């Protein structure tokens, strides 16, 4: 069982009616970019906990998670209502292996995210390890509507700093938006449009792929990559 520590809410940003970013302070200690923590609240006399990836880099003092509301879920509707000054519980240790330290050396790193799965990749892109380890980094971020493309200002700042290395490919599947692909990641991968847009060839010899988000997307892309 984890040891729970108190975390003070610093901010709660509403991206859409369903998407929120929660910022808080807690003496969490060291973690690696890409890892997740467990947040918890006491509900009806019981501790209800769920895992959430950290969006902040390991060097930032404020912790941040990005989540969507699950209407029938016990926790996310309550997290969305938290205000600065409120408190939640956070497990004292981070977990997870979605980190660049776990990836063998390669020339190119592809990050394929859908929905809130972009969170750990933002954390990784904010830290320095990916830029030291890979020549090129491709972030593919898929959502249904343009309003759901969160953290665009953060991605733009990272792109300015690492413009020679970062290729950002936004994907909006249910709207046609200038500068964004209008098809699922799997379709863009099969047609070659994804690599054409990124300007980088995805190959077994030179590339590693990290995925986070919808389980169907991960399974389908995995099968496509295996076939290649």
Task: Give per-residue pLDDT as tens, 109-129.
Answer: 999 999 999 999 999 999 989
pLDDT at 4: 94
> How many Å apart are CA 28 and CA 15, to the nearest integer?
26
pLDDT at 29: 82
* Residue 161 confidence (pLDDT) above 90: yes
How many alpha carbons fall within 13 Å on the CB side of residue 29? 7
* Residue 100 confidence (pLDDT) above 80: yes
- Running DSSP on this structure, what letter comes out for residue 95? B
- What mean pLDDT value characterizes the chain? 96
Structure token digits, residue 76: 């996310």
pTM: 0.95
From the centroid of its chain, how far is CA 16? 17
> How many Å apart are CA 82 and CA 181, to the nearest integer?
35
Q: Which bin fits 34, alpha (ψ -120 to 50), beta or left (φ > 0)?
A: left
> How many Å apart are CA 61 and CA 45, to the nearest integer?
31
pLDDT at 90: 96
* Residue 178 confidence (pLDDT) above 70: yes
pLDDT at 228: 85
Backbone angles phi, psi at 209, to 5 degrees: -120, 130
């Amino acid at each position: 069982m984890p040891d729970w520590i108190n975390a003070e809410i610093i901010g709660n940003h509403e991206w859409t009616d369903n998407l929120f970013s929660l910022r808080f302070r807690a003496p969490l200690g060291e973690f690696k970019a890409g890892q997740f923590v467990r947040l918890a609240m006491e509900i009806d006399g019981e501790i209800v906990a769920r895992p959430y990836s950290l969006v902040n880099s390991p060097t930032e003092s404020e912790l941040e998670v990005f989540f969507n509301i699950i209407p029938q879920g016990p926790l996310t509707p309550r997290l969305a209502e938290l205000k600065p000054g409120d408190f939640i519980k956070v497990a004292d240790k981070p977990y997870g292996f979605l980190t660049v330290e776990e990836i063998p050396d390669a020339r190119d790193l592809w990050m394929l995210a859908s929905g809130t799965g972009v969170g750990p990749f933002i954390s990784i892109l904010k830290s320095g390890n990916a830029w030291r380890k890979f020549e090129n980094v491709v972030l593919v971020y898929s959502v249904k509507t343009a309003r759901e493309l969160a953290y665009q200002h953060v991605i733009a700042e990272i792109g300015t700093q690492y413009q020679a290395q970062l290729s950002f490919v936004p994907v909006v599947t249910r709207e046609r938006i200038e500068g964004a692909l209008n098809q699922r990641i799997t379709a863009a991968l099969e047609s070659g449009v994804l690599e054409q847009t990124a300007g980088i060839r995805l190959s077994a010899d030179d590339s590693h792929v990290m995925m986070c988000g919808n389980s169907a997307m991960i399974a389908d892309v995995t099968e496509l990559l295996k076939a290649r």
